Structure 1
């Protein structure tokens, strides 16, 4: 009887900790500030060697996403609700808004939705296949269902546990991008003065 009870409790514990899309969205929504390092590898058709890059990023619920590539060259990408800014050393910043480039700006909201696991925005653009991988791990496969996304991407796959750990992008030209995130930190829970300057207009 005792063995049976332990088995039932164990099964209940496993079921109770199964990850769901709703839980994931709630979990991500409770993190006001997330900092992480990233490494990115792009495999391009016709090129013998993949392209590697690395850097760090900052995601702030109220401000947006700040992406800083350090290697092989400096590249800064800033995403907020109103604009997307790309800055390369020695060049004028490229600013994209919903007014001057609505199609490109659409990717702004999609990137934010990816990092926040925003199911509403994602479901408008993709067919979602969410699976619990066990032991807190999860996988979300996004298959584009609207234009122009379905003309650009075959699939986007997100893998994670407590945090988003990787993104794999396969496009219609046969190219692939693998992004890995690590050293995730949620403290301090507010932006430092230096981080606030990243989002200053």
Structure 2
């Protein structure tokens, strides 16, 4: 088992494009595809209740990662599986093939040539790496500790929410996060430090099938 930090895990990747993609998807996993209700914000509460109904959500995704220093945008796509009882699985198809599995216990990164894993509790970033699962499980303390809700609007035809970081760790990474959707999350825009940004588009969201596929189960088994 590799006893290295998450940042060392990511920076150990040889291919720069692959490193950028996996790093961003890890941060998205940290943020989650849901938001937690604030006790004094009915709009946020309504959004959260809608998004937390499903135990399994699958979607196709496209990520557009803009690096201001290089004046370049990295585009990647693939599929995502969120399983409340297991964790989140990112299966990247283009421009590189890789799997990223995040659970309460482990972070696993697998490519055709490499395999790395780390115990969450052995990393100084343990609270960050598990925040996604905390959010989807409805841990209201996670949001109040790390984010301020700038605005939140809900209607039957769609919703949107804007967050700014509160914790020192997230302030080093993000300036603002905007999310919008209807039944599920459709779009997340992250304004990052150094004028970088990430846009994630989710399509073809579904809760079918209700059980893990053989492929999903095999990948989640890697993080047992």
- For structure 1, the residue ranges without an aligned partner over 5 or more in a row are 1-18
TM-score (norm 2): 0.73
Q: Deviations over 1:12-41 (max 9, x none)?
A: xxxxxxx83222222222201111000000
Identify the match of residue 58 of structure 2 among 12, 26, 35.
Answer: 35
Q: Quick check: 1:20 aligned with 2:50? A: no
Q: CA deviation at 1:195?
A: 2.1
Q: Quick check: 1:177 aligned with 2:198? A: yes
Q: Which moved more, 1:191-200 or 1:143-152?
A: 191-200
In the alignment, which residue of structure 2 is the partner of 1:157? 178
Question: What aligned pairs does 1:112-191 form with structure 2 within 5 A after superposition?
Answer: 112-113=133-134, 119-132=140-153, 134-191=155-212
Q: Is the 8 A contact 1:77 1:87 kept in 2?
A: yes
- For structure 2, the residue ranges without an aligned partner over 5 or more in a row are 1-41
- Greater Cα radius of gyration, structure 1 or 2: 1
Q: CA deviation at 1:180?
A: 0.4
- Supply the distance in 1 between the matched residues of 2:191 and 2:135 (Cα, whole angstroms): 15
Q: CA deviation at 1:159?
A: 1.0
RMSD (Å) for aligned C-alpha atoms: 2.0
Q: CA deviation at 1:73?
A: 0.4
CA distance change for structure 1 residues 45 and 117 in 2, over 3 Å: closer, same or farther?
farther
Q: Secondary structure at the match of 2:172?
A: helix
Q: Is the 8 A contact 1:136 1:162 kept in 2?
A: no
Q: Number of aligned pairs?
A: 181
